[in-house]
Structure 1
Amino acid sequence: MDDDHVTRCCFLLINAFIFLTLNSSIHSSLAADTISPGQCLSGNQTLVSKGGSFELGFFSPGNSHKYYIGIWFKNIPSKDIIWIANRQAPILNPSTSLLKLSNNGNLVLLNETRSSVWSSNSTSSTSNSMFAVLLDTGNLVIVNTSTYTKPLWQSFDHPSHTWMPGGWLGLNKLTGEFQSITSWRNSEDPSPGLYTEGIHPDGSNQFVLLYNGSLVYWSTGLWNGQFFSGVPGTKEKSAFNFSFVDNKERKYATYTLDPNVISYTLMDPSGQVKQMLWMNTSQRWFPFYNQPVALCNVYSVCGAFGVCDHKSSPICSCYVGFKPVFTKDWKLGAWSSGCTRKTILQCDNKSASSTHEDGFFEMKMVRLPSNPVKLRNAVQSNTQCEQVCRRNCSCTAYTFDDGQCSIWSGDLHNAKQLYDGDSDGDGDGNGEDKDNAGNGTLHIRLAASDIPPPTPSSTNRHLGASVIFSVVAGTLVIIFLVFMGLTWVRKSRRNSRLAKHAEGSLISFTYADLRRMTKNFSDVLGRGGFGSVFRGKLPDSTVIAVKKLEGLRQGEKQFRTEVSTLGSIQHVNLVHLHGFCCEGNKRLLAPRFWSGKVRFKIILGVAKGLAYLHEKCRECIIHCDIKPENILLDEEFSPKVADFGMAKLMGRDFSKVLTTMRGTIGYLAPEWISGLPITAKVDVYSFGMMLFELISGERNSKVSINSEDDGEENFFPFRAANLVAAGDIIELLDKRLQGEVDLEELKRVCKVACWCIQDSDALRPTMGQVVQILEGVLDVNTPPVPRSLQNLINSPNSVYYSLPLDAEKDTEDQTSLFYSLPLTEIN
């Protein structure tokens, strides 16, 4: 393109601008949302969609000095980019660069030297009636007047890193082209990163997240005609309407939104796909949905020789003896570029004069890197396994576990730091991880100079080994003899039937057993709708809580529900069923007893227990009656979720279930009251209402049904939601704590509580997300004040208070909302 042509192009644009300014009322059809053949865009000039929702122009991300043509939200201050044309070919000076529509129907970007750096690769023989237009969906299209409804080219066919409502991801069967979204390298570099979302490369009807274009680390599961099997929520009809299309031309997924909702799907540089929701109240984006939920489950989120630790901030760090390859990427929160050695290995450095051999550094309790080579039978010990690795210069690490030697060559990917009770590093305690290559101790090969010096204890650990061994052995023998004697005495006094039961199995107690253990049911711990709970003690001194079911309200069905539910689950924050008694109408449960510690620990523990029930059990278990009375505490104040008499099991193939209303007034989600199908989000709502009580140390409301007092002042959740929105959260805290609280933890708890009680279950977080927010892994914006709370305040005699008593609950339990909360010991 010669300089005269450029001059004419810009001259036409300037003249067009003057003409439009002087004659805007006459020539409204020549809007600022279009580019016609011969026109161009340069410098600060932009296109704005007709409704003012989106804008197209040159932009420079972050502190970068490179420029790109992109589309962004017009009325959102953060100027979030939804599409980029030249993400692999930035320009340096937008003032001397041009975006123009050629006469042949091709949209091109010319840099400072007039070289084409990007093109739509579209052509048409009817150029006179052609133009490019930015639509209010964020879609940039090239059309002509005769085929306006069928664009010649559109940006939705070529997404960059976002999936917009009305857009699609899938496969064009006619061209063989895949529509997928690929992450930025980091927040200042939009060049393609390592993570992609799209339809499975094998053509099957499922969408996957890919690492480096080939390795699948998350999947929606197959489309079954109604929803994706791994994401049942896609079946729901809500503000997000999802559909899957498979016809002769294309196979794709698309979604639409309620007109009042602003949202988009983002493939984040971290490897998580996020559904972002704009909150007008806080003027911020909220990550409404993300997969994988745990960031450490993104494949190689920390790159080569990086280890992910969900308890650290940032979550990624390099192995000992390594450093980030690109420090800037790590500072920007994009770690996938990984780490490199600080010192070259002696084995690889043939010209080195050092006499120090390479060594190995021991990393304990890690999820091992992916793709190990397992040596079967040939290696019988850790020493032999180390020698095998040492003799091979390409061997970077080894492990010897359960008699199995495994070695790695080249880069190490996908390691996680683990913790006690959490074998997969997710922080949920369940130990599940479908990408897990094994857990254990990893021995990393390092240059001698990079191996940390041994601790004094390890330096002297072999001194006097024989003497120490003799002393220890003798002591162990004495302890063993004393232990055996005490065990014999204790066993002789125990009931012979109890002595024979297998560890972890349920004991069928007699009624006399439990009456004796509870001292004739004399120590009452609490009373509920189905009976009372008493403190007791097993013959081996294990402290238990015995629930005595009273009256006729909980019959055989409810009793069997609680026994079968409790007997099938195991989690550190769920009550463990020790045994039961069923003699005629005498029905009792004996969960292990746990007493009380700090409130945040209680809140986090309850959240983890519910997350396990909802997301980790074979079938989703909805508790249906979360409230303070159903949380037991041990002597270390570790919480245990108890009382599963109302629990509802929901198959993984269903996103909602219709069931009779159950629970306790004051904790019931709106969908219960409306008679709608419910999800696990009813527990989320109850959890949120309970949080308000734990924050304030009082019941949510002390007013009676007929009180003439001002409801707004007394109904704590409404006041709390308003104070959270205003940022004045310290006013919500129990006065007995005298302000002694971690302010950041309090902020997270208050925001979580307000998000949990949103009217729409779609806006409430999952319990897995609640755990992440409480632990500081996932950020959360200020939530809106639920409309139902406002309605409740404005109508004190509303249906919320005048509901008929549930047939499965007694009057005492229904009105327990108005009792004071016994939290005097939690301070």
Structure 2
Amino acid sequence: MENRTKLPLPLQHVLFLTFLYFQTNLCIELNTIYPGQSLSGNQTISSQNGRFELGFFNPGNSTNFYVGIWYKKIPVQTVVWVANREKPLHDPSSSKLQLSKKGNLVLYNQSEIPVWSAESSSNTMNSTVAVLENSGNLVLKDRSNPSIMLWQSFDHPTDTWLPGAKLGKDKISEKGYISWRNSSDPASGPYFLGLDPNETGTYFILRNGKRHWSCGTWLERVSSFSNETVVDDYTTISYVSNSNEEQNFYIYSVTNSSVLVRYVMHISGQVQKLVWKDDLQKWEQIWAKPKDQCEIYAFCGAYGACNQYSRPLCKCLLGFEPKVNREWNSDSSNPRHGCVRRTPLQCNKGVKDGFEEIKNVRLPASDVFLTDNKSLKECESACLRDCSCKAYSYNGNCSIWQEDLLNIQYLSYGDNLGRTLYLRLSMADMEALRGKTKERIEWFTIKAAVAIVSLIAILGMIFDSTYFPARAANCISNGGDVLSLLDSKLKGNANAEEVIRACRVACWCIQDEEQNRPSMGQVVQIFEGVQEVNIPPIPWFIQTITHYAKADISK
């Protein structure tokens, strides 16, 4: 009988445990699932660069399990894609993600019932493999021709937009990003980030299928996207549009491959840009939209205007009053029913309506562009002839509004993106407004004049060897201590915000170019708090006088 060497008992245990380890951790550090193979329990595959991992996970405090992709080497669980977001699993050890011999990737629950699948449409048995790529994209490929992509997770995104993925439409599908329901439930939430199919380059957020936010024609406000290639410290973003090839999408790449960057349609309703900070061991939000409540579409309802710098945020336009008073009772209120006219318009009743000029606002949505009206007066006449016209605007071209006015926002003075809206009102409301405006102007003229004269009167004075007007301008421009500008007899006893507002108005009123100076009506709105005022540039003549004053001091 042949002699056989018996292995020591401890060594048998080691080999047995090693065998079990590889059985329970099939494909560890590998990026591919082959036909007939499956993942179950804590088995995973990883991208070749070790950045992404695919397997079973349970989010937050949930007891449910899902198949997803996450960042592998950071301590904060950050899932970027979920397969079965609508159909959770209860037992990952008895569930499995399997690649069939026909090339379909199928997820079975503990009862062996399919709950999710990715179809490869391959006609060849055992030719398809599932690969987790370095980009975080899970793809089904033909082994004999890896360049042929049969399916990819980038065509079926959840809430996270990764570098190399698209926002928009191509020949395969339309790609939008849907928020999670909450931090412990990856099921589809209420918010959807998408791109205008009409190839305008406009992207938007829907809430429960209705418009929540849109960049509209305000692309210059949003530095992270544009209708051209945009470069920042972390990403390069491009817009591709070709109707013949059914292409209309944004795509971005990272400028430094070692930095983790992602966009996410967050459960809060914001689209956020996040960067992983190794030194802080956390994600840092570097951009988000909508940033303020006033950016939310129609936040103040019909004929309501939003002002992010005042409380309450919403006010009815002149000549209008709240439709539902209880909605306007607190700072945090959202008056979704908006405002109604105090006095009906008198169109075709022998009484001519008038127009109230509202400056420096974000224009309402749904305007109608009129090509035949070339002057301001012709634009006004066109609106008066149309009984459905609620307002008009003229900026070299004429636009009118025939529907309820929505999405109006007061902007800061000095914000050159603001436009002037001419709001149609009854003659009775126009006369009432003229009386109130005259009273306000008389009172605020005195207050504004004091602020302006105070700054101008000190021209030529030297204060502590420092030219005072330049010191004041630099102080408000650089965020210095404005109370230090006050007369020492006041002992700093003043409201800093009021001093800043007065100094800014004064500096705007002495700008070198006349068109940059505010009208008295705008000064009134600024002092009333209806309109915020931006930091003004330092007038050229103050800079010039400062230069010569310093030269005289040096002599």
Shorter-chain TM-score bucket reads: 0.5 to 0.7
Corresponding residue to 2:539 among 639, 645, 654: 645
Percent identity over the alignment is 31
Q: Which residue of 1 aligns with 2:285?
A: 287
- Change in CA separation of 1:80 and 1:568 when aligned onto 2, cut-off 3 Å: farther
Q: Which residue of 2 aligns with 1:95?
A: 93
Q: Which residue of 2 aligns with 1:561?
A: 512
Equivalent position amino acid for 1:370 in 2: R
Equivalent position amino acid for 2:238 in 1: S
Aligned partners of 2:155, 2:36: CA distance in 1, in Å? 24
Q: Which residue of 2 aligns with 1:240?
A: 235
Aligned partners of 1:192, 1:107: CA distance in 2, in Å? 22
Aligned partners of 2:108, 2:443: CA distance in 1, in Å? 84
Q: Which residue of 1 aligns with 2:176?
A: 180
Q: Which residue of 2 aligns with 1:771?
A: none
- Change in CA separation of 1:62 and 1:209 when aligned onto 2, cut-off 3 Å: same
Aligned partners of 2:216, 2:263: CA distance in 1, in Å? 15
Aligned partners of 1:277, 1:265: CA distance in 2, in Å? 9
Equivalent position amino acid for 1:561 in 2: D
| CA apart distance, 1:49 | 0.6
- Structure 2 residue 258 is matched with structure 1 residue 364: no
| CA apart distance, 1:249 | 4.1
Q: How many matched pairs? A: 397
**1:221-370 pair list within 5 angstroms:** 221=217, 228=219, 231-234=222-225, 235-238=229-232, 239-247=234-242, 248-258=245-255, 259-294=257-292, 297-298=295-296, 363-364=328-329, 368-370=334-336
- Per-residue CA distance 1:760-809 (angstroms, 9 max, x = gap): xxxxxxxxxxxxxxxxxxxxxxxxxxxxxxxxxxxxxxxxxxxxxx9995
- Change in CA separation of 1:204 and 1:425 when aligned onto 2, cut-off 3 Å: closer
Aligned partners of 2:285, 2:206: CA distance in 1, in Å? 20
- Change in CA separation of 1:529 and 1:144 when aligned onto 2, cut-off 3 Å: farther
Equivalent position amino acid for 1:181 in 2: Y
SS of residue in 2 equivalent to 1:148: strand
| CA apart distance, 1:252 | 1.4
Q: Which has the higher strand share?
A: 2
SS of residue in 1 equivalent to 2:145: coil
Aligned partners of 1:642, 1:525: CA distance in 2, in Å? 24
| CA apart distance, 1:152 | 0.4
- Per-residue CA distance 1:383-419 (angstroms, 9 max, x = gap): xxxxxxxxxxxxxxxxxxxxxxxxxxxxxxxxxxxxx
**1:385-464 pair list within 5 angstroms:** none
Q: Which residue of 2 aligns with 1:653?
A: none
Native 8 Å contact 2:511 2:517 kept in 1: no
**1:687-698 pair list within 5 angstroms:** none
- Structure 2 residue 466 is matched with structure 1 residue 527: yes
- Per-residue CA distance 1:494-553 (angstroms, 9 max, x = gap): xxxxx999668889x9xxx989966x97784772498677989xxxxx99989x99xxxx
Native 8 Å contact 1:529 1:812 kept in 2: no
| CA apart distance, 1:375 | 8.0
SS of residue in 2 equivalent to 1:149: strand
- Structure 2 residue 181 is matched with structure 1 residue 205: no
- Change in CA separation of 1:127 and 1:86 when aligned onto 2, cut-off 3 Å: same
| CA apart distance, 1:237 | 2.5
Equivalent position amino acid for 1:236 in 2: V
| CA apart distance, 1:182 | 0.4
- Change in CA separation of 1:807 and 1:160 when aligned onto 2, cut-off 3 Å: farther
Aligned partners of 1:500, 1:21: CA distance in 2, in Å? 84
- Change in CA separation of 1:170 and 1:229 when aligned onto 2, cut-off 3 Å: same
Native 8 Å contact 1:530 1:810 kept in 2: no
Q: Which residue of 1 aligns with 2:56?
A: 58
Native 8 Å contact 1:197 1:273 kept in 2: yes
Root mean square deviation, CA, Å: 5.6
Q: Which residue of 2 aligns with 1:767?
A: none
Aligned partners of 2:298, 2:444: CA distance in 1, in Å? 46
Q: Which residue of 2 aligns with 1:219?
A: 215
- Change in CA separation of 1:364 and 1:50 when aligned onto 2, cut-off 3 Å: same
> Is the deviation greater in 200-209 or in 124-133?
200-209
Aligned partners of 1:569, 1:276: CA distance in 2, in Å? 43
- Per-residue CA distance 1:197-250 (angstroms, 9 max, x = gap): 01125564321111112324222649xxxxx55535544323311111223143
Native 8 Å contact 1:240 1:255 kept in 2: yes
Q: Which residue of 2 aligns with 1:407?
A: none
SS of residue in 2 equivalent to 1:75: coil
- Change in CA separation of 1:504 and 1:233 when aligned onto 2, cut-off 3 Å: farther
Aligned partners of 2:210, 2:513: CA distance in 1, in Å? 46
- Structure 2 residue 38 is matched with structure 1 residue 40: yes
Aligned partners of 2:140, 2:161: CA distance in 1, in Å? 20
Aligned partners of 2:456, 2:547: CA distance in 1, in Å? 29
**1:628-707 pair list within 5 angstroms:** 644-645=538-539
- Change in CA separation of 1:535 and 1:58 when aligned onto 2, cut-off 3 Å: closer
Gaps of 5+ in 2: 1-15, 300-305, 310-323, 345-407, 420-441, 473-484, 488-497
| CA apart distance, 1:87 | 0.5
Aligned partners of 1:101, 1:515: CA distance in 2, in Å? 77
Equivalent position amino acid for 1:137 in 2: S
Aligned partners of 1:433, 1:61: CA distance in 2, in Å? 44
Native 8 Å contact 1:562 1:644 kept in 2: no
| CA apart distance, 1:122 | 2.6
Equivalent position amino acid for 1:242 in 2: I
| CA apart distance, 1:108 | 0.8
- Per-residue CA distance 1:107-146 (angstroms, 9 max, x = gap): 1110011111111133201232320010111000000123
Aligned partners of 2:545, 2:49: CA distance in 1, in Å? 53
- Per-residue CA distance 1:722-768 (angstroms, 9 max, x = gap): xxxxxxxxxxxxxxxxxxxxxxxxxxxxxxxxxxxxxxxxxxxxxxx
- Change in CA separation of 1:18 and 1:133 when aligned onto 2, cut-off 3 Å: farther
Equivalent position amino acid for 1:51 in 2: N
Aligned partners of 1:264, 1:56: CA distance in 2, in Å? 18
Native 8 Å contact 1:429 1:571 kept in 2: no
Aligned partners of 2:180, 2:456: CA distance in 1, in Å? 67
Aligned partners of 1:114, 1:195: CA distance in 2, in Å? 33
Aligned partners of 2:83, 2:463: CA distance in 1, in Å? 70
Aligned partners of 1:282, 1:104: CA distance in 2, in Å? 46
Aligned partners of 1:63, 1:141: CA distance in 2, in Å? 30
**1:125-204 pair list within 5 angstroms:** 125-173=123-171, 177-200=173-196, 204=200
SS of residue in 2 equivalent to 1:95: helix
Native 8 Å contact 1:57 1:69 kept in 2: yes
**1:572-591 pair list within 5 angstroms:** none
**1:7-46 pair list within 5 angstroms:** 32-46=30-44
Native 8 Å contact 2:461 2:468 kept in 1: no
Aligned partners of 1:231, 1:426: CA distance in 2, in Å? 16
Aligned partners of 1:31, 1:21: CA distance in 2, in Å? 11
SS of residue in 2 equivalent to 1:127: coil
SS of residue in 1 equivalent to 2:122: coil
Aligned partners of 2:31, 2:538: CA distance in 1, in Å? 59
Native 8 Å contact 1:48 1:56 kept in 2: yes
- Change in CA separation of 1:529 and 1:66 when aligned onto 2, cut-off 3 Å: same
- Change in CA separation of 1:204 and 1:560 when aligned onto 2, cut-off 3 Å: closer
Aligned partners of 1:516, 1:51: CA distance in 2, in Å? 65
- Change in CA separation of 1:565 and 1:299 when aligned onto 2, cut-off 3 Å: closer
- Per-residue CA distance 1:271-308 (angstroms, 9 max, x = gap): 0000001111111100111001115644699xxxxxx9
| CA apart distance, 1:60 | 0.6
